[in-house]
Structure 1
Amino acid sequence: MKKSLSYRIFMLICTVAMGLLVSCSDSEPEDHRYRPTTPIGRTLESECDAVARMFADTTFVVAVGVDETDLHLQLMSGYVVRMFLLRVDTTVPGLELRVALPDNNNDLSQIHTQTLTDMAAVHDAPGKRVVAMTNGDFWDTANVLPRGPIHRDGYVLNDRFNYSESMPQQALSFVGIRDDGSMIIAEASRYAALQSQLKEVTGAGVILLSEGLFPGTTYTVRDPRTAIGYTDDGIVYMLTVDGRRNFYSDGITYEEMASVFKALDCTGAVNLDGGGSAQMLIRHPIAQIFQIRNRPSDNAERPLYNGWMVCVEEP
């Protein structure tokens, strides 16, 4: 009799448990996917054709008009990447984009390469404080010569493109700041006609967006990359993506990078030097030190020929 009662109680418990399991299986599973917390993270997850899902996103203020957003995400191609994105509002008074050269030296015959950290320290001065930088144009590493034109503060230091068939993704275009402060990105063939209007210039590589559209490219290699783009209302985005590091960041293609800029409403964007040169620096807003934000694929800062820096009017 006791055994029969115990058996009935056991069967009752099993029946209730099975009912609960069926009830749970019939309901919608709870979605535990990470939801972006920043405006840029939400925009890229919802609007960027290249982005599949977001794992983490954070934003902080570097300086008035300059924000950094760090993103950990998966691309539609399946690769996982780490992105470091500077949003620069060029309409903020006292804020400007400038070309940086090693030792702040305009004499290209004496030029050498220098890390972003050292370049930032040399350029930083009262009234023109450096708050952010990325690497700039490609260069002829054997002869330490620029691949594209260089203008600084209205002075033309180099007005030629140094194209090489062995480096077909270089010396294809330029990125410049006009005298009125607006940005332009264009093919190398347009440089001569626009030269007199340009205050700051470096050469560049594959164009990612022209009038808001990706022109297309035959290059599909995935690498660490740095690129720059702009919107029609004065916002400049400086993007660095890490790569060549399995289980951390796999790198990005030109087309995927173009999709990022398009989702951010950019009308123009272009690729800068990449690989081990792909680096981003900020003046840390709390510690007040210059800090490389990404993980360069060389495992250390690579000395560079030039860079793009964001300067603000501060004492």
Structure 2
Amino acid sequence: MLLKYKLVWGLTLVYALLIGCKKDEAIAQAPYTIKSPLTQRILDSAGVMAQVFSDTLFEVAPGIKETDIHYLSREGYSMRAFILEVDANHPGLLLQAGTPYNAAAYAMQTVPDMAKYIEKPGYKVLAGVNADFFNTSTGEPRGIYVRDGVVLKTTWANARSATFMGVLKNGKPYIGDRQDFLAVQNDLEDALGGGPMLVRDNQILTQTDLSVEPRTGIGMNAQGKMYFIVVDGRSFYYSNGCTITQLGQMLKACGSTIAINVDGGGSSTFMIKHPLADVWQVRNRPSDGTNRAVGNAWMIISQ
């Protein structure tokens, strides 16, 4: 009788395990429903994603949407990307070059601390990302620098400092290279330098830098849509980073017809004024383990 009971119990256990395994397999194979159109565009056309594990889409403020993506890269690595889609034509939104202590002098400060010095009644900082490469001793930017219509720096540190993003005096955003800067510098209200051009005339440009790192990129199209992206890296189980070519592929997939790489590594910072709490929140995980003090940033302002 005892042997019969053990046999029945054993068969029941095996059956339960088999059913459990089939349920687990069904769950694992269940297709994930993508929430953000940007996630779908990148998955369909960028050639960087093998599988999307999860994504979120929400409105930071009118005219500003955030997409967060956890995905498996084509190389088989865990990845996290954070994207702001900004309608530069939305009434009341503007872009400002953020600087430490909201001053023209060279220095270093975290992106959330820069926001504290910029914000004032009727002038609300809604989001910010790090910008130009900089001298880590002095905070001097590697590229050009224009603030409040005054051209403060026209030199470039090296060949990698090849581009800039600016805001024209009519409020329109502008992305260009060194030659473009010579042509428009007197029409700029604000401008900060950048690294390699990633996309131009809707074409992805060939890059020689094949390193895999945390990255920050900025892109836009002729219709006034802007895309700010941070891809985290240097953390095997969380996010491994990408090449600047892959960054360009993602920005083009989002809709950018022109895009640049800006400072990355431990500088990569993706901050928003959270819609559910009146606090500035860094949404990504900077690879230093804490927010790095940087030379400058781009801020999205509501007024």
1:83 matched to 2:81? The reply is yes
Partner of residue 97, structure 1: 95
CA shift for structure 1 position 142: 3.3
Cα contact 2:272–2:282 (8 A) shared by 1: yes
- Residues 77, 236 of structure 2: 8 Å contact kept: no
Q: How is 1:198-277 mapped onto 2 (pairs within 5 angstroms)?
A: 198-277=188-267
Q: Map 1:288-307 onto structure 2 (within 5 A).
A: 288-307=278-297
Unaligned 5+ runs, structure 1: 1-23, 25-29, 164-168
Match of 1:172 among 162, 177, 182: 162
Structure 1 residue 283 corresponds to structure 2 residue 267: no
The separation in 2 between residues aligned to 1:187 and 1:229, in whole angstroms, is 13
In structure 1, distance between residues paired with 2:62 and 2:179: 36
Give the alignment of 1:4-15 within 5 angstroms.
Answer: none
Q: Where does structure 1 differ by over 4 angstroms across 4 or more consecutive aligned residues?
A: none
Q: Please list, as runs of the form range in 1=range in 2, the aligned pairs for 1:182-201 lying within 5 A after superposition.
A: 182-201=172-191
Paired residues, what number? 280
Q: 1:145 matched to which residue of 2? A: 140
Aligned-partner Cα distance in 2 for 1:130–1:142: 27
- In the TM superposition, 1:64-143 aligns within 5 A as 64-106=62-104, 110-143=105-138
The alpha carbon displacement at 1:141 in A equals: 1.8
The answer to whether the Cα contact below 8 Å between 1:184 and 1:268 also exists between their aligned partners in 2 is no
Deviation of 1:46 after TM superposition, in Å, equals 1.9
CA contact (8 A) 1:130 1:283 kept: yes
CA-to-aligned-CA distance 1:131-166 (integer Å, 9 cap, x gap): 000001001223432111111232222222122xxx
For 1:82 and 1:173, the matched residues in 2 are separated by 26
Match of 1:56 in 2: 54
SS of the aligned residue for 1:132 comes to strand
Measure how far apart 1:247 and its partner are: 0.7
CA distance in 1, matches of 2:258, 2:173: 9
**Displacement of 1:49:** 2.0
CA distance in 2, matches of 1:306, 1:172: 17
Of stretches 94-103 and 194-203 in structure 1, the one that deviates more from structure 2 is 194-203
**Take 1:194 and 1:120, find their aligned partners in 2: how far apart are those partners?**
27
TM-score where L is the length of structure 2:
0.87
**TM-score, normalized by length of structure 1?**
0.84
Measure, in 2, the Cα distance between the counterparts of 1:125 and 1:203.
26
Partner residue of 1:11?
A: none
Q: Partner letter of residue 298 of structure 1?
A: D
Instruction: Give the aligned CA root-mean-square deviation in angstroms.
Output: 2.0
The equivalent position to 1:160 in structure 2, one of 131, 150, 155, is: 155
Partner Cα distance (1:128, 1:87) in 2: 20
Question: Quick one: which amino acid aligns to residue 262 of structure 2?
Answer: L
Q: In structure 1, how many angstroms separate the alpha carbons of the residues matched to 2:133 and 2:140?
A: 9
Query: Would you say the 8 A contact 2:49–2:71 is kept in 1?
Result: yes
- The residue type equivalent to 1:268 in the other structure is I
Alpha carbons 2:96, 2:301 under 8 Å: kept: yes
Give the partner amino acid of 1:114.
Answer: Q
Q: Equivalents in 1 of 2:190, 2:79: separation in Å?
A: 31
Give the AA of the match of 1:140: N
Does the aligned pair in 1 maintain the 2:106–2:138 contact within 8 Å?
no
**Residue 111 of structure 1: how far off its partner (Å):** 2.7
Structure 2 alignment gaps of length 5 or more: 1-21, 23-27
Higher Rg of the two aligned structures: 1
Cα offset for 1:31?
4.7
Counterpart for residue 36 of structure 1: 34
Identity %: 36
The more displaced of 217-226 and 33-42 is: 33-42
Report the residue type matching 2:46 in the other structure.
C
Where 1:130 maps in the other structure, the secondary structure is strand
| Shift of residue 127, structure 1, vs aligned partner | 2.2
Deviation of 1:198 (Å): 1.6
1:96 is paired with a residue of what secondary structure?
Answer: strand
